[in-house]
A and B are shown apart, each in its own frame.
Chain A
């Protein structure tokens, strides 16, 4: 029995090690399509399910169920799942806001991501295993960065899930102004990943031996470059805040000035990221910039409608449903009155307006409709672009509070390592805690807890940090 359990543990560890590389690197090719959504089941879902299944067996056969249930973190996870299940039931039968299939699949998706946490804690039971995973992650980050550069400069293939057609697994190429997504199928997902990497790297730079420092520095610089290439404003800000947090908690405050200077230099250097930051201030905050106005009587009349693309008869002979601008005019053909003419400003304007006028109000309405349980997983569509509102809308106050308890419990455990006498553990914990902060900041404008690749990695890295409890006393500096 003991031999069998050891074999199972080794197998789970190998699967976990594989997942740490496979999840970030394998493009989002669909395996099985699901009716009613363009989110598909992929190979990684099956491997994760297999890993969780094997872990479940090993917990049962090792007689550890009682210990598992006694653990406060596991209790909070199970409570979150319980409330998610009640919310799904309520959404299917009471509010009628989701269908059976989609509601249950989306619930299982959350279970899949979050159960990786206890699985990693179980599988990583020695410092050797921890370090092997960290090196695997280092290799993964380099590959992700190199692939992003390849997409930009060597025309390497792009797999994207940013719309229903792309999500079928089309092989694309980057257009000149498009942003890199590397293996993440969306530039925001890549940016969230890189922000986390940079934040963890910061304290690790001080923790590792001298000969490893240049490697961390080079990979960090490469990741920063790719992060800038994604032009994801929020992830850049989140990384900045996360690095400050990492420097404060690792008692390296003197480097904060250097960080400010670096950020200043990055922001004055011409890039898409800089242009988007400037547009955020001029367009979204101060409502400046040249706006498109209807040129003909027909366009001016249509511009007063909620849906300006509707036809209005302004003369006795014709009515037009044509686009406002022509392709040759240098203006986006789908532009409508009131929108900025400049293409970067238009992108920034729409990015914010979609959140402000469509996605966020939809989540707020769902929360009002069922404040306790929300309207269920999948009821808000593919995106809300604010994970806090999404949580309130999908699983209500009760589900959000349960998730809050999970995060607080994890945060408390990680913070308890801050004063550990082991230097490596101390710095690693500071990095992971700061990554948690970075993730939460990203959650203000992106659905990070639902983006499969980054969400899985998030729970896995937290698990990696918490696994140290298995071998705390033996860990040494690498």
Chain B
């Protein structure tokens, strides 16, 4: 049991401190897109945020960043994908962020990136609702806008949390054995 615990602690530590992306600029730009320079879409105003206008739709965008995030780490598995309700974008991207989907790509106990998409048109270019307009960017007019926000974590914080977890498991095991016997 002791060996199993020590093995788990070591593996967890390796997982938690393994290098990975540290800022939004470590992620690639969306293919065939224009980077937004609008207020609130760059890191001068909101930390670790980036936005792109393109004709890429949800499946492509999310899969693209899933792969990109995975490539940015040395981990042998991709991040987990969590699907949040669109209104969550106000909380984790910034207030008044338009959204038709928001997914979170997360490596638990490390960091996560939110991929928020605003798609006023269906892929066949019919509008989803009254008032749907295309995005006029610098080089072209686009159908979708993707906003990314990355939430990195400090390595010292990760080590403190790691210590908190392994000591909690140890204490739970010891106390649990006494209480449940």
Contact = CB atoms under 8 A, between A and B. Distances in A.
A94 B157 contact: yes
A90 B130 contact: no
B112 interface: yes
B11 to A, nearest CB: 13
B179 interface: yes
Contacts of A370: 108-109
Interface in B70-87: 80, 82, 84-86
Given A94-B158, A369-B82, A369-B112, A398 B168 contact: yes
Interface in A312-333: 312-313, 319
Determine the main DSSP class of A at the interface with B: helix
A310 B128 CA distance: 10
A40 interface: no
B181 to A, nearest CB: 10
A368 B175 CA distance: 26
B164 A96 contact: no
B130 A313 contact: yes
A95 B158 CA distance: 10
A76 interface: yes
A402 interface: yes
B172 A372 contact: no
A94 B161 contact: yes
B39 interface: no
A200 B157 CA distance: 47
B171 interface: yes
Interface in B46-82: 80, 82
A365 B92 CA distance: 15
Contacts of B160: 89
A90 B161 contact: yes
A311 interface: yes
B130 A405 contact: no
B175 A76 contact: yes
B85 A82 contact: no
Interface string B144-171: 0000000101100110110011001101
Interface string B96-117: 0000000010101100100000
A371 interface: yes
Interface in A74-97: 75-76, 79, 82-83, 86, 89-90, 93-96
Contacts of B179: 72, 76, 405, 408-409, 412
A373 interface: yes
B151 A95 contact: yes
A94 B175 contact: no
Contacts of B154: 93
Given A310-B129, A313-B130, A93 B165 contact: no
Contacts of A95: 112, 151, 153
A305 interface: yes
Contacts of A76: 175, 179
A365 B180 CA distance: 30
A362 to B, nearest CB: 8
Interface string A392-424: 000000100110010011001000000000000
A373 B161 contact: yes
A-side interface size class: 35 or more
Contacts of A369: 80, 82, 104, 106, 108, 112
B172 A79 contact: yes
B84 A365 contact: yes
B168 A312 contact: no
A311 B129 contact: yes
A89 B154 CA distance: 12
A405 B109 contact: no
B123 to A, nearest CB: 16
A358 interface: yes
Contact of A372 (B157, B158, B165, B171): B165
Given A93-B157, A365-B84, A312 B130 contact: yes
A83 B161 contact: no
Contacts of B169: 398
B176 interface: yes
A373 B158 CA distance: 13
Contacts of A401: 172, 176
Nearest to A311: B130
Contact of B168 (A83, A93, A306, A371): A83
A83 B164 CA distance: 8
B108 A96 contact: no
Interface in A362-380: 365, 368-373
B148 to A, nearest CB: 15
Contacts of B108: 368-371
B2 interface: no
B131 A398 contact: no
Contacts of A402: 168, 172
Contacts of A371: 108
Contacts of A93: 153-154, 157, 161
Nearest to A91: B161
Contacts of B127: 313
Contacts of B3: none
B112 A79 contact: no
10 contacts: A82-B168, A90-B157, A93-B153, A94-B161, A95-B153, A312-B129, A372-B109, A373-B161, A373-B165, A405-B180
Given A311-B129, A369-B104, A369-B106, 13 more contacts: A76-B179, A86-B161, A89-B160, A94-B158, A311-B130, A319-B131, A368-B80, A372-B165, A373-B165, A402-B172, A405-B172, A408-B180, A409-B179
Q: Which 9 A-B pairs have the closest CB atoms?
A: A86-B164, A319-B130, A313-B130, A311-B130, A93-B157, A310-B129, A94-B153, A90-B161, A398-B168
Interface of B: 80, 82, 84-86, 104, 106, 108-109, 112, 127-131, 151, 153-154, 157-158, 160-161, 164-165, 168-169, 171-172, 175-176, 178-180
